[in-house]
Amino acid sequence: MDKSINVCIIDDDEVFQYTILHTLEAHKSVGNIMPFTDGAEAMTFFNENLDNLDKLPDVIFLDVNMPVMDGYRFMDEYTKIIPEVVKKITIYILSSSVDLVDFEKTKNIKEVSDYIIKPIREPQLTKILAELVMNKN
């Protein structure tokens, strides 16, 4: 059984994308990494791969503030397709926003595991990945 973690990053910040991609690549537990620059791009991918267990991510790191489709609109659309998704996907909001409105809004989205202020620290990322490996079927 493959224990590698497929990771989806939905974030428009090129510097953050570059940094987290290289950080994730250094983790032996990480398999495929899927970067998207906005929620619409990611939603297209999800709609095309709803029943493809191998292509779907195990975890999504989602930014809040993005052009085209922000993180909250992505979550609105994602929750509509959850019944069709063949895999449990863990979702973390990763944002530079420290606005209490964002924290409160995120608390009301039961599909989101946690709200993490960027940049995500290496020990925190390592802990998340280790938990995902342990919980992988």
Q: Convert the pLDDT of each residue in 15-46 to its tens digit.
A: 999 999 999 999 999 999 999 999 999 999 99
Q: Which residue has the higher pLDDT, 8 or 97?
A: 8
96-129 per-residue burial string, b: 16 or more CB within 10 A, e: under 16: ebeeeebeebbeebeebeebbebebeeeebeebb
Domain 5-135 sits in CATH at 3.40.50.2300
Determine if the pTM surpasses 0.85: yes
3-class DSSP state of 60: strand
The residue ranges of every structural domain in the chain are: 5-135
Q: Is the pLDDT of residue 101 over 90?
A: no
